[in-house]
Amino acid sequence: MHPGETDVVTVEIARLGARGDGIVETPRGPLFVPFALPGERVRVALGAGERARLVSVERPSPERVAPFCPYFGRCGGCLTQHLARAPELAWKGGIVAGALAAAGVEAGEIAPTVEARGAGRRRLTFHGRILDGAARVGFMAARSHDLVAIDACPVAEPGLAGAPKAAHVLTHLLRGSGKPLDIQVTLTEAGLDVDLRGHGPVDAGLRAKMVGAAGLLDLARLSLHGDILVERRPPLVRMGRAAVAIPPGGFLQATGAGEAALAGLVLEAVGKARRVVDLFAGAGPFALRIAERAQVHAVESDAAALAALDRAARGTPGLRPVRVEARDLFRRPLLSTELARVDAVVLDPPRAGAQAQALRLAETTVATIAYVSCDPATFARDAAILVGAGYAIERVTPVDQFAHAPHVELVGVFRAPRARR
């Protein structure tokens, strides 16, 4: 047994938890067993807490499959590669349904989870460390600060195959500071876009070396804390017909297929609306697509993202007018008077949700609200506000672009009562 473990026992897994752990019901409460599946009989090593270590699987589930990544079980990025894809999608739909039930919210329909992993992740964030005098690059182990060095990530797009090498070269180049680095690598039409975090300002000599390394690695762009050191080619990402030069380190949906699936659901929801407000608009994954058929007012607090959206809108022929506004929607949500002549509202807040904006939307007569969320719990909280004000949830659709991880996106469509329109 490992240090701190007290006993090895045989247990049966009752269900799968929201973080991907198998759960055993005990008189003292739930016991969490990573890498175990419902219905399995397993041997586990007990410790002092509520988590146990899987020792062996005595009776496997028919839904168990062989993990395809050699780092699985050590790297903390993927937690459910041992679960077949169809039950994984169903499990994620259950997470959404459970969050709504916990908030006392009834949805008209919870659609089947949309498969949206596509060609894989288009962005990876590596951790770079100098250990025993050598550069090491990888991901963190689950619930740990231990670094798992990797040479390749099989859940990433093939175009990111050179990302670990780039991260290693840059970590080695910046080894003099001794500081841990975060190296975000994004796949764009122009190649790899790299943004480094964790290192302080660099002098002219080191800056020149970094620019030289970007050339040798054929990077599209290299930035340090968002400060562009060199841009050899514009790092463009397609959003509908528009080509967006994304800002360094700016938010981007995890997969291209995921963004397309979410945008398709949003476009279906807004339908023939002529005036649409896009809140938490980012660099425009929804606004730029909606503008192909409707006027859009895009609101975002991140100045760089908003500028990228504005440039793309102005540079794309055939779009309807797109008006942009810089605004902190947590502190200054749009008021009902500002939404009086709007046909539809789209919002895609961060994990914290949009409680302040939901309270203001509850006072409006907007016919359609399409709420995109990466956190079912905060979505359910905000949905309860809208439903309490008379809005009806027409449909909630889970979208899974984070295959083998517990994260799930969703799009909820709300309709106002006809009497309020």
The Cα–Cα gap between 261 and 411 comes to 10
Answer whether residue 47 shows pLDDT above 90: no
Rg of the chain (C-alpha set)? 23
123 to 157, 240, 250, 261, 409: CA distances (angstroms): 8, 19, 11, 18, 17
Of 408, 405, 375, nearest in space to 83 by CA: 405
- Determine the residue type at 221: R
Strand partners, 290: none
Tokens standing for residue 108? 């008209």
- 23 pLDDT more than 80: yes
List Cβ neighbours of 43 (8 Å cut-off, separation of 6 or more): 8, 9, 10, 11, 54, 55, 56, 58
On whether the CB atoms of residues 347 and 280 are closer than 8 A, the answer is yes
Q: How far apart are CA 201 and CA 176, in angstroms?
A: 13
Single out the catalytic residue among 75, 78, 153, 374.
Answer: 374
- The answer to whether residue 419 scores a pLDDT higher than 60 is no
Q: Model confidence over 197-212: pLDDT tens digits?
A: 999 899 999 999 999 9
314, 244 in Cβ contact below 8 A? no
Q: pLDDT-derived band of residue 65, with 50, 70 and 90 as boundaries?
A: very high
- State the Cα–Cα distance between residues 302 and 327, nearest whole angstrom: 8
Model confidence at 183, pLDDT cuts 50, 70, 90, reads: very high
67 C-beta neighbours (distance < 10 Å), count = 17
Q: What is the DSSP string of 108-172?
A: S-BPPPEE--TT-BSEEEEEEEEETTEEEEEEEBTTS--EEE-S--TTB-GGGTTHHHHHHHHHH
Percent pLDDT > 90 in the chain is 92
pLDDT above 70 for 10? yes
Instruction: Give me the helices (H) in 274-369, please.
Output: 287-290, 303-315, 355-361
Domains of the chain with CATH codes:
1-62 (2.40.50.140), 87-117+253-420 (3.40.50.150), 123-237 (2.40.50.1070)
Name the token pair of 310.
């504005």
Q: Tell me, yes or no, if 69 is annotated catalytic.
A: no
Q: pTM of whole model > 0.85?
A: yes
Cα(278)–Cα(322) distance, integer angstroms: 10
Measured CA to CA, the distance from residue 123 to residue 245 in angstroms comes to 15
Q: Is residue 65 a contact partner of residue 72, using CB atoms and an 8 Å limit?
A: no
Q: How many Å apart are CA 130 and CA 112, to the nearest integer?
A: 45
User: Which tokens is 65 given?
Assistant: 């499959």
68-124 pLDDT, tens digit per residue, is: 999 999 999 999 999 999 999 999 999 999 999 999 999 889 999 999 999 999 999
- Torsion angles phi and psi, residue 217, rounded to 5: -85, -5
Helix axes 163-173, 204-216, angle to 10 degrees: 160
What is the model's pLDDT at position 299? 98
pLDDT digits (tens, 9 = 90+) for 304-351: 999 999 999 999 999 999 999 999 999 999 999 999 999 999 999 999
Q: In this predicted model, what pLDDT tens digit does every residue of 362-388 receive, in sequence order?
A: 999 999 999 999 999 999 999 999 999
| Mean pLDDT for the stretch of residues 160-173 | 97
Rounded average pLDDT over 36-65: 95
**Secondary structure letter of residue 50 according to DSSP:** S
Indicate the range of 17-31, 254-268, 272-286 predicted with least confidence.
17-31
Q: Which of 2-11, 34-43, 127-136, 263-272 has the lowest mean pLDDT?
A: 2-11
Whats the size of the chain, residue-wise? 421
For residue 64, which amino acid is it?
R
pLDDT band at 421, cuts 50/70/90? low
pLDDT, residue 131, reads: 87
Q: Across residues 252-261, what is the average pLDDT?
A: 98
CB 127 within 8 A of CB 136: no
Q: Please tell me whether residue 412 adopts helix, strand or coil conformation.
A: strand
